[in-house]
Structures are given as C-alpha cells and as structure tokens.
A and B are shown apart, each in its own frame.
Chain A
Amino acid sequence: MTRTGLFSTIPEDHREQLMALSREVSFPVGTRIFEEGSKADRFWVIHTGSVSLDLHVPGRQAAVVETIGSGELLGWSWVCPPRQWHLGAEAITPVRAWEFESQAVLDLCTRDPALDHALLTYVVGVIGHRLRSARTRLLDLYGPYGSGEPR
C-alpha cells in the first residue's frame, strides 16, 4: 500500500488484522481533523495529501509546527494517557486516509502481543523521528550564523 510507514513495518498477517479495523476516509482542504486538547480516540495513516499540525496561540493564527504526508501516521496521543491531542490537525490539501479507532486496535493488541510489539515499535519510531526533527529545528541551522557558539 505504501513503501514506507506503518504498512511496511507491520508483518503481513498482522497487517491484514489491523486493516480489517480500518475504514477509508477523506478530508477536504481546510478540514479540522482534530483539535488540541480533545479526546484522542483514533488515528490515521495518510494515503494521499498533507496535514498540518498546529498549536493554538491566543489572538493569532494557529502556529504550524510540522506537516505530515503520504504514508505517515497522523496521531499518536491515543497510545498513552491522558489520551488527548497535544496538537491540532488540519488538511492543507485534499486528504485520503485510513482511519482506525484506537480502542479497537488496543483491544486487538491485548489479544496479540506480537502485533502489540510491532505497532508500538513503529509508533515509538515515529515519535523518536519527530523528536529528532524538532531538536534539529531548534538549532536554527539555516539562521545567519548557523548554530552553536564558536570555540
């Protein structure tokens, strides 16, 4: 289905079990897919299109902190408490995605430790990747003087 992302990392037999829980959805441009602070009870794997992740800033436009696209996981806050979205998400292009209800997936994982391990390994990898990206961007590498103090 995609050459990267969740579907390339989950073993095929588990992938079919997981996909049986999914449904295809689409979001027109501008759709607010979820809002910061609301209940994180589902997640998506993006098939086509792009989604921006943003933070609410009072009196200003929402601050976009990252965009994600085809093959990527949208939403990981469902994995652990408090299971609330840490960011908001908006479709910036027409989006087609597979939607999963998180409780059904967690129930399946409870019954199948191998799937549980594979899925969590994938999600932790996604979180780690996004953490590294955020840290790299904190360096402001493209700023006038790069980053770091001279020796």
Chain B
Amino acid sequence: MTAVPLPYRVVDTRPETADTVTIRLEPVHETLPSFAPGQFAMVYAFGVGEIPVSVAGILPDGGLLHTIRGVGAVSGALYALRPGATVGMRGPFGTSWDLPLAAGDDLLVVAGGIGLAPLRPLVLAALAAPQAHGRLNVLVGARSPEDLLYRDELDGWARPYRGVAVDRPSAGWKGRVGVVTTLLDEAPFTPAETTAFVCGPEVMIRATARELLHRGVRPDRVLVSLERNMRCATAHCGHCQLGPLLLCRDGPVVGYDRAEPLLAVREL
C-alpha cells in the first residue's frame, strides 16, 4: 500500500458497453503490491480527481484491469483514457473475496450490473482451481443484454451453471427476464454447503442475501461487497463509515452476518 500514487500507464482499452470500458494498466516504474480479488485501488485521473475502483483483473506481470463506467467527472475522465495515458494508482485497499473460506463448498457468484467487475477475478481464480471447491454457479443480472459485461467470457464460466437475467430484453433475447434471484432456482447448489459472493446495487444485495438465507445458506457464508464514499482509503477520514466499520479497511467485502444489521439502519 502506498500513500503516494504511483504512475501506471494505460496500455489497452476494451469497450464493454456503451458507457463502460475495461482499461489495462501497467506500472511505469514501481509496481504496487499484489492485489487480491475484491480489493480496490484508488485511481487518480490527473487534474480531475481520484476514485476507488475494484480490480477486474490481476495480471501476472503486475498489470491490472479496471472496468470503468463513465458516469461522473472522474469516472468519465477515466472512461475517456486512451492507450499511452497515465494515471496515478494507490493500493491495494480493503478486504478481499475469501475464496479459501469456501474450500469444498459450492460457489454462488451473484452479480448485478457493474458489480460483475469485482467478481471477475474471483471467478477466474475459482476456474483455475476447480478441485478446491464444489460447483461454480455464476448468476448475472443486467439492465439489458447490451449492458452485459465480459460477453465473450461469460459462456466459459458455466462450471456447471451460468445464468443471466435482464430487466429489459431486446429483440431476440432468449434468456431470463426478471430479477437476478430468479436464477437461483436453476443453479445447482447445496445451501448448507455453499459460499456466496454477491456484488451489485445495495438493494439487489439485500434481496439476494435474504433469499439465500431463506434457502439455508449461512449468513457468514454470504459475502457481500459494500460501497460507500471512500476518500482516503486508509481508514482515517471516516467518509466510508458504516456503523463500526470503515469500509475502505474493514470492507468492501463483508460477511452478511455483520452487514445485515448495518444495512437496515437508515441513518448510516
């Protein structure tokens, strides 16, 4: 972890959707310590600002992939970057998806929208070590088929199940239409021996976690990635406080046994 941003160069950009791009970054000089799936970096668009972005890919050469949706001033600037541009990087920050916790368990990866990005490196890690766990189920919710991330990779994630549910189908869509939790009926998993990894809008996280608990998944085996206003990323400024947690340090990945009571408090 560094307090001072290190320069990283954009070496590739890949459009994902109309407003989302995946950028590949390589260190210009010094490399940040290794990231784990679920952790985030503070990415600095020079002259504009800094935002937290979860890693969407961890490359063996020290490079990183970040999937950016250009919706704000900083994310818009990052979205517009082209190869050769330089950004500042701090990290790695926060807790990671605890894949070893799920050893021997069935895995349920449930993503909503851009929430698939922090889960991608987890899926790749699980695919790389299939003997370490049970069945891998990847459930994805998206606004429309055109808003799906990593479309060229999704089919390879069906080990054994990969499902997609969209809110708004376009012509020719043959998949599910509805909320992502409708896919749970299709996914083969044994609730008492399942670890779930959930990331997306908080309303979707709550609905998914409730459904999983109802089906018998243990609350401490439902890991969720929470988002608050992260500024310093070093647990000093307090902007990302959620009750007793400072999410830049104690999150973003939190067990639902800890998260559930906090998410129910409106003032937090």
A binding-site residues for B, Cβ under 8 Å: 4, 50, 52, 61, 64-72, 92-93, 132-133, 136-137, 139-147
Contacts and interface: CB of A to CB of B under 8 A. Distances in A.
A141 B144 CA distance: 12
A147 B174 contact: no
Nearest to B185: A4
B175 to A, nearest CB: 8
A96 to B, nearest CB: 15
Contacts, number: 65
Interface of B: 19, 69, 71, 112-114, 141-143, 147, 167, 169, 171, 173-179, 181-182, 185-186, 200-201, 203-204, 207
Given A64-B169, A141-B200, 17 more contacts: A52-B177, A65-B177, A67-B176, A67-B182, A71-B185, A92-B174, A133-B178, A133-B182, A136-B179, A137-B179, A142-B141, A142-B143, A142-B147, A142-B200, A142-B201, A145-B71, A147-B201
A66 B177 contact: yes
A144 B69 contact: yes
Q: Which of A4, A52, A61, A133 is the most central at the interface, judged by chain B CB atoms within 10 Å of its CB?
A: A133
Contacts of A64: 169, 173, 177
25 contacts: A4-B185, A64-B169, A64-B173, A65-B177, A66-B177, A67-B175, A67-B176, A69-B185, A70-B185, A72-B185, A92-B174, A132-B207, A133-B181, A136-B179, A136-B207, A137-B179, A139-B203, A141-B201, A141-B203, A142-B200, A142-B201, A143-B143, A146-B201, A147-B201, A147-B203
A36 B179 CA distance: 23
Contacts of B176: 50, 67, 69
Contacts of B69: 144
A143 B177 CA distance: 16
A71 B185 CA distance: 8
A52 B166 CA distance: 13
Contacts of B141: 142
Contacts of B186: 69-70
Contacts of B207: 132, 136
B113 A142 contact: yes
A142 B112 contact: yes
Nearest to A145: B71
Nearest to B173: A64
A141 B177 contact: no
Nearest to A65: B177
